[in-house]
């Protein structure tokens, strides 16, 4: 098994002999085998163990076992305890998900602090099979069929080619000891139900299940990589333009699949993608929402942007030489000595003596009014101004005002208020520049 272990690491370039490795060790069979293989291979590693305090004395038994294991190998040991149930309630998560998040957050913290190159976990082919089955039960795309990835960020899994029975055989041959997690014998969790009842049935139908699964996963992973390569140019175009023209999508033989693979990065489900594609003939302005983004139908294309719920609502500006970054734009304020007329709608020059700090930056509201520059001091509702300027619904949703003592100073990127313009009596000039994020369509210059 050692030869196959090293061959897999070298073939997939998981890590090198000079890398410093942090190994996640629970004390169970899988992680005990992994540490033994690393020790036999001469790799430099340390052990990390998490006590989730979920199984009473058994949890502390595991901690003691791992401490003894590390002492035997004479390697550094890191141990952390979490009150997992309390943290799960605080975060509004299931105990399982909270434990998973805590584990990987802590591993990464140690990796960075102690400068380890990789975090190693002891997942094997049976874990990958169970993950695949869970995804099938829940519903999944191609990515959900590939099982557990060999690498994910700084996490790598060198035991993935091996089955649980292979690990057990190796452990027995080496005379290894390990601890058993009693919760693995219960059917409380979906994964355990599959492990105890479904997988044994599948192995009866195909005694070589794990062997054939390895070949299947390799083919699925290759297919996914090929598809990703084919879609890369289209997805980059969508990311840069924040729009999906119908004509661009029509080039593909499977447009719904392409649309769903593209939109999943923005939180849209496959079923939503089907509905979006089917709704091409709907009236412009129809919207589809994910948790993070909104997709708007605009004639012969869809416009994609960050959801307004994540947007800035109010911000106070207390000083000059100031820069504010939001999900939609960057606003920069600075003193200048000279002023020249400009047609750039993204820049405004203000008479600083007329401003009262702090200034406020906020979304426009239906009742807002101002004195648009060029209208000789006449007032106009912001809503009427936007209609006259033919500002799209999408732009309106993300339009902000700069305000001083309750008075609109600038409708950002659209029009300055006449009351704050530069005159021959101006002694102090404030330059304000708006830089729109790439996900927002730039308004036309006025």
User: Would you state the pLDDT for residue 14?
Assistant: 95
Report whether 388 contacts 378 (CB < 8 A): no
Answer yes or no: is pLDDT of 443 > 50: no
Looking at the fold, whether 34 and 113 belong to one and the same domain comes out as yes
Looking at the fold, whether 284 and 374 belong to one and the same domain comes out as no
In the predicted model, what is the mean pLDDT of residues 333-343?
77
User: Would you state the pLDDT for residue 271?
Assistant: 85
Tell me if the bond preceding 358 is cis, omega within 30° of 0: yes
Domain assignment present for residue 232? The answer is no
Higher-confidence residue of 328 and 411: namely 411
Domain residue limits at 330: 311-436
Looking at the fold, whether 68 and 185 belong to one and the same domain comes out as yes
**Angstrom distance (rounded) from CA 218 to CA 210:** 12
Give the contacts of 250 (CB within 8 A, at least 6 positions apart): none
- Which of 216, 231, 256 is a domain's end point? 216
User: Would you state the pLDDT for residue 32?
Assistant: 97
Distances (CA, A) of 361 to 316, 382, 400, 405, 414: 6, 15, 7, 11, 15
Looking at the fold, whether 174 and 59 belong to one and the same domain comes out as yes
The structural domain count of the chain equals 3
**275 pLDDT tier (thresholds 50, 70, 90):** confident
Residue position matching structure tokens 């100031």: 322
Looking at the fold, whether 345 and 261 belong to one and the same domain comes out as no
Domain assignment present for residue 236? The answer is no
User: Would you state the pLDDT for residue 257?
Assistant: 94
- Which of these ranges, 90-94, 99-103, 149-153, 277-281, has the smallest mean pLDDT? 90-94
Burial profile 204-216: b = 16 or more Cβ within 10 angstroms, e = fewer = eeeeebbeebbee
User: Would you state the pLDDT for residue 95?
Assistant: 86
Domain assignment present for residue 443? The answer is no
As beta bridge partners, residue 349 has 431
Domain assignment present for residue 231? The answer is no
Domain assignment present for residue 234? The answer is no
- Which of these ranges, 102-111, 132-141, 264-273, 328-337, has the smallest mean pLDDT? 328-337
Looking at the fold, whether 69 and 153 belong to one and the same domain comes out as yes
- Which of 255, 275, 308 is a domain's end point? 308
User: Would you state the pLDDT for residue 97?
Assistant: 86
Domain assignment present for residue 83? The answer is yes
Looking at the fold, whether 326 and 279 belong to one and the same domain comes out as no
**313 pLDDT tier (thresholds 50, 70, 90):** low
Answer yes or no: is pLDDT of 320 > 80: no
**Angstrom distance (rounded) from CA 445 to CA 181:** 66
Domain assignment present for residue 164? The answer is yes
User: Would you state the pLDDT for residue 308?
Assistant: 56
Looking at the fold, whether 83 and 95 belong to one and the same domain comes out as yes
Answer yes or no: is pLDDT of 445 > 50: no
Q: Report helix, strand or coil for 37.
A: helix
Structure tokens of 346? 């993204």
Looking at the fold, whether 164 and 261 belong to one and the same domain comes out as no
| Residue-wise pLDDT tens digits, 220-260 | 989 988 999 999 999 999 999 999 999 999 999 999 999 99
**437 pLDDT tier (thresholds 50, 70, 90):** low
User: Would you state the pLDDT for residue 65?
Assistant: 96
Angle, helix 57-73 to helix 29-41, in steps of 10 degrees: 10
Answer yes or no: is pLDDT of 319 > 80: no
The mean predicted confidence, pLDDT, of the chain is 88
- Which of 216, 231, 257 is a domain's end point? 216
CATH number of the domain to which 153 belongs: 3.40.50.620
What's the burial of 298, exposed, middle or buried (CB within 10 Å: 0-12/13-18/19+)? middle
User: Would you state the pLDDT for residue 294?
Assistant: 83
Euclidean distance between the first and the last CA atom of the chain, given in angstroms as a whole number: 72
In the predicted model, what is the mean pLDDT of residues 412-437?
89
Higher-confidence residue of 148 and 393: namely 148
As beta bridge partners, residue 430 has 335, 350
Looking at the fold, whether 163 and 106 belong to one and the same domain comes out as yes
**310 pLDDT tier (thresholds 50, 70, 90):** very low
| Residue-wise pLDDT tens digits, 120-161 | 999 999 999 999 998 888 888 888 888 898 999 999 999 999
Looking at the fold, whether 298 and 331 belong to one and the same domain comes out as no
Domain assignment present for residue 229? The answer is no
Report whether 340 contacts 431 (CB < 8 A): no
Structure tokens of 139? 């519903």
Structure tokens of 274? 């089907």
pTM above 0.85, yes or no: no
**Angstrom distance (rounded) from CA 80 to CA 92:** 22
What's the burial of 149, exposed, middle or buried (CB within 10 Å: 0-12/13-18/19+)? middle
Length of the chain equals: 446
C-alpha angle with apex 266: 262 to 269, nearest 5 degrees?
Answer: 75
Looking at the fold, whether 190 and 322 belong to one and the same domain comes out as no
């Amino acid at each position: 098994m050692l030869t196959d272990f090293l061959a897999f690491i070298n073939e997939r370039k998981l890590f090198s002999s000079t890398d410093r490795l942090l190994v996640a060790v629970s004390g169970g069979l899988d992680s005990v085998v992994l540490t033994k293989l690393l020790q036999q291979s001469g790799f430099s590693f340390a052990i990390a163990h998490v006590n989730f305090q979920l199984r009473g004395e058994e949890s502390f038994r595991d901690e003691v076992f791992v401490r003894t294991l590390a002492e035997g190998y004479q390697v550094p040991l890191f141990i952390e305890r979490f009150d997992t149930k309390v943290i799960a309630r605080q975060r509004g998560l299931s105990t399982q998900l909270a434990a998973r998040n805590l584990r990987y957050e802590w591993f990464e913290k140690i990796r960075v602090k102690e400068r380890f190159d990789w975090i190693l976990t002891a997942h094997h082919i049976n874990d990958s099979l169970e993950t695949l089955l869970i995804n099938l039960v829940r519903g999944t795309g191609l990515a959900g069929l590939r099982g557990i990835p060999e690498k994910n960020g700084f996490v790598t899994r060198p035991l993935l080619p091996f089955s649980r029975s292979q690990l057990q055989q190796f452990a027995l041959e080496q005379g290894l000891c390990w601890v058993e997690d009693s919760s693995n014998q219960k059917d409380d969790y979906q994964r355990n139900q599959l492990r105890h009842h479904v997988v044994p049935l599948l192995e009866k139908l195909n005694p070589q299940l794990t062997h054939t699964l390895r070949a299947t996963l390799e083919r699925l992973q290759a297919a996914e990589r090929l598809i990703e390569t084919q879609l890369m140019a289209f997805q980059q175009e969508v990311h840069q333009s924040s729009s999906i023209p119908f004509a661009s999508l029509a080039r593909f033989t499977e447009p719904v699949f392409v649309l769903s693979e593209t939109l999943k990065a923005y939180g849209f489900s496959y079923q939503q993608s089907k509905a979006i594609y089917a709704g091409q003939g709907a009236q412009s302005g129809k919207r589809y929402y994910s948790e993070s983004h909104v997709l708007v139908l605009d004639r012969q294309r869809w416009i994609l942007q960050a959801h307004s719920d994540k947007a800035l609502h109010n911000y106070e500006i207390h000083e000059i030489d100031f820069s504010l970054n939001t999900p939609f734009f960057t606003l920069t304020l600075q003193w200048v000595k000279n002023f020249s007329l400009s047609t750039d709608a993204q820049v405004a020059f203000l008479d600083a003596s007329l401003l009262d700090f702090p200034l406020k930056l906020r979304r426009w509201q239906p009742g807002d009014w101002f004195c648009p520059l060029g209208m000789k001091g006449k007032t106009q509702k912001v809503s009427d101004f936007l209609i006259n300027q033919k500002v799209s619904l999408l732009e309106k949703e993300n339009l902000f005002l700069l305000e001083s003592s309750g008075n609109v100073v600038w409708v950002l990127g659209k029009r300055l208020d006449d009351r704050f313009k530069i005159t021959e009596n101006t002694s102090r000039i404030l330059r304000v520049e708006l830089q729109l994020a790439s996900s927002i369509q730039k308004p036309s210059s006025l």
